[in-house]
Amino acid sequence: MKFPGKRKSKHYFPVSARDPLLVASPVASESIESYIVGIDQILVDIEAQVDDELLERYKLSRGQSLVVDDDRAEALYEELKANDLISHQFAGGTIGNTLHNYSVLADDSSILLGVMSSNIRIGSYAYRYLCNTSSRTNLNYLQAVDGPIGRCFTLIGDNGERTFAISPGDMNQLRPESIPESVIAGASALVITSYLVRCKPGEPMPQAAMQAVNWAHKYQVPVVLTLGTKFVIADDPQWWRDFLREHVSVVAMNEEEAQTLTGLGDPLAAADKVLDWVDLVLCTAGPSGLYMAGYTEETYKRQTRHPLLPGVIPEFNRYEFSRAMLREHCQNPLRVYSHIAPYMGGPEKIMNTNGAGDGALSALLHDITANSYHRINVPNSSKHQRPCLTYSSLAQVCKYANRVSYQVLNQHSPRLTRGLPEREDSLEEAYWER
C-alpha cells in the first residue's frame, strides 16, 4: 500500500505530522494486507471516433451506455472496421477500471470477480483484457465461460464525449456460487455497479451480485455502488432508492444519474438528498468538477480554511476539513459537503471523457482502504480514536479524486498506466490559495 504514513508529501493525505505510532508499527513491514473486491461485467472497450449521425443511425443515446443486440453490434463493428475508425482497444468495464486504477494508485491488491473465456487465443478480446489489467488486480477468482467476454464500443464525439454500445457476450453469466465468501469477508470494501442488473431474464449476474452484497453485510464490509448510466436508474428510481437505503454505504454517480435518482438537477442538492439513504456520496459534474457529501460527528467537525462557497446549501463547504464517518457511528451526525473545480481548469485538450468518473472513485477507494489498512495495523493511533470511513478530509479526497480524473481525461484509456507523481506543486495548498 502506498500509504500516507510512508509518503514524504502530504498532498493526498493531509497529515501535518507523521504519526509517531507508525514508526514502531507493523505498517513499516507491510504485515497485514488490505484489498478491495469488485464485481464487473468483463468488457473490452473498442474506441472509435464517430460523428452524431452514426449515433443516430444505430439508435444510441449520446453520453450514455446502451446494450445492442448481436446484429446491430456486428453491423457497427463492420462499419467501424471498414472505415478504419477503430483507434484503440483496451480492457474496460466500470468496476474493472476502478479496481485497476485503485491498484495502480495504491500499489496494492484488488480482487476482480466476473467471467473470463476459458479458451483464450493470443490477440483475442479476452487476451487483451488480461494483458491490460494491473498485475496487482487478482484475476484468480474469475469464473470460466465457454463464450466471449463483452465488447463495449466506445464512440468518441468531436468534443471528446463518450457514448457506449454494449455487446454483452457471456459477461452476465457470473453465478452466485462463484462469489467466494472469504474474499468478501476480508475486503475493505465491495464495489459494484448498477450495470450488473442490466441483464436478460434468467442471467445469473444479479443473483451473484446480491450474494456478494449479503456477505458484505454479514462481515460489515462497506458496499460501494457506482450508478453507471442514468438509463438503468430511470427504469425504476424507487427500486434504486430502496436498494441504497438497505445495502449501500458509499455511492458514486455523475450529475445526470443523480438527477434521475433524486429528481434534483443541482448536484449538491442531489448529493444531499442521497445522504438520506447512504453514508457518503461522490457526485461528479463534468466541467463543473465534483462534489462530496457525508456525515461526521458534530464534535469532531473541522472548519475549512478555503473560501466558503455559495450553493443551494449556503456556505456548504464550511466543515469540509472533516473526515467522513458512517452515520451509525455518529451520536450527533452532521452533514458535511465539499466541492472542487476541475484540476487546473481541466486539460487543454480532453482526449476523451471515458473513465473520468471511474478514476475519481478509485481515488476515494484508495483513501477508504488506506484508512482501514492504517486501523488494522496501528489500532492505537490517534487517527482511530473515532471510527472514520476515510483517512483524509472530504476536501482532500475531492482534490485527489479530481486529480485522478484529470489524468484520465488526458489519455485515451480509462485505465492509468502509472501512479501519480509523489510530489506535485499544483496539489500544494499554496497552489490553491494563489
Ligand X SMILES: Nc1nc2c(ncn2[C@@H]2O[C@H](COP(=O)(O)O)[C@@H](O)[C@H]2O)c(=O)[nH]1
Ligand Y SMILES: Nc1ncnc2c1ncn2[C@@H]1O[C@H](COP(=O)(O)OP(=O)(O)O)[C@@H](O)[C@H]1O
The answer to whether 354 contacts ligand X (rule: CB under 6 A) is yes
> 3-state DSSP helix/strand/coil percent for the chain, to nearest 5?
40, 20, 40
Q: Kindly write out the interface string for residues 295-314 of this chain, putting x where it contacts ligand X by CB under 6 A and - elsewhere.
A: --------------------
Backbone angles phi, psi at 28, to 5 degrees: -60, -30
CB of residue 383 vs ligand Y: minimum separation in angstroms? 27
Q: Which lies closer to ligand X via its Cβ, residue 40 or residue 203?
A: 40
First to last CA, the chain: 32
Choose which of 48, 225, 356, 409 interacts with ligand X (CB under 6 A).
356
Q: Which lies closer to ligand Y via its Cβ, residue 101 or residue 178?
A: 101
Backbone angles phi, psi at 280, to 5 degrees: -150, 135
CB-nearest residue to ligand X: 92
CB of residue 362 vs ligand Y: minimum separation in angstroms? 12
CA Rg value for the chain = 21
Which span (212-220, 290-298, 352-360, 382-390) binds ligand X, by CB under 6 A? Answer: 352-360
Binding partner of 405, given ligand Y, ligand X, none, CB within 5-8 angstroms per partner class: ligand Y
CB of residue 280 vs ligand X: minimum separation in angstroms? 18
The answer to whether 193 contacts ligand X (rule: CB under 6 A) is yes
Q: Using CA atoms in the order 295, 298, 299, 300, what is the torsion angle rounded to 10 degrees?
A: 20
Binding partner of 285, given ligand X, ligand Y, none, CB within 5-8 angstroms per partner class: ligand Y
Quote the CA–CA distance of 29 and 2 in Å, as a whole number.
Answer: 12
Quote the CA–CA distance of 279 and 335 in Å, as a whole number.
Answer: 10
Quote the CA–CA distance of 375 and 308 in Å, as a whole number.
Answer: 32
Which triple of cell numbers denotes residue 389? 470511513
Binding partner of 330, given ligand X, ligand Y, none, CB within 5-8 angstroms per partner class: none
The reply to whether 94 sits in an annotated binding site is yes
Within 8 A by CB and 6+ apart from 164, the residues are 64, 65, 66, 152, 153, 154, 155, 229
* Binding to ligand X, residues 22-61 (CB under 6 A): 40-41, 43, 45
* Binding to ligand X, residues 211-230 (CB under 6 A): none
Quote the CA–CA distance of 192 and 227 in Å, as a whole number.
Answer: 9
Question: Which residue is it, cell 470511513?
Answer: 389
Binding partner of 164, given ligand X, ligand Y, none, CB within 5-8 angstroms per partner class: ligand X
* Binding to ligand X, residues 83-102 (CB under 6 A): 92-94, 97
CB of residue 357 vs ligand Y: minimum separation in angstroms? 2
The reply to whether 285 sits in an annotated binding site is yes
Binding partner of 166, given ligand Y, ligand X, none, CB within 5-8 angstroms per partner class: ligand X
The reply to whether 198 sits in an annotated binding site is yes
Q: Residue 108's CB: how many other CB atoms inside 10 A? A: 22
Nearest to 247 by CA among 220, 268, 272: 220
DSSP 3-state assignment of 94? Answer: helix
CB of residue 401 vs ligand Y: minimum separation in angstroms? 7
Q: Kindly write out the interface string for residues 360-399 of this chain, putting x where it contacts ligand X by CB under 6 A and - elsewhere.
A: ----------------------------------------
Residue pair 101/362 in contact (Cβ under 8 Å)? The answer is: yes
Residue pair 411/418 in contact (Cβ under 8 Å)? The answer is: no
The reply to whether 311 sits in an annotated binding site is no
Nearest to 46 by CA among 198, 155, 159: 155
Which triple of cell numbers denotes residue 142? 474469475
Residue spans of beta strands (DSSP E) within 318-405: 323-325, 333-340, 388-393
The reply to whether 62 sits in an annotated binding site is no
CB of residue 354 vs ligand Y: minimum separation in angstroms? 7
CB of residue 294 vs ligand Y: minimum separation in angstroms? 17
Quote the CA–CA distance of 332 and 241 in Å, as a whole number.
Answer: 24
Binding region for ligand Y (CB under 6 A) = 254, 284-287, 289-290, 342, 346, 350, 353, 356-357, 360, 402, 405, 409
The reply to whether 114 sits in an annotated binding site is no
Q: Which residues bind ligand X (CB under 6 A)?
A: 40-41, 43, 45, 65, 92-94, 97, 152, 162, 164, 166, 193, 195, 198, 353-358, 414
Binding site: what residues are annotated? 93-97, 198, 284-289, 357, 402
What residue numbers does the annotated binding site for GMP cover? 93-97, 198
| Binding site residue list for ATP | 284-289, 357, 402
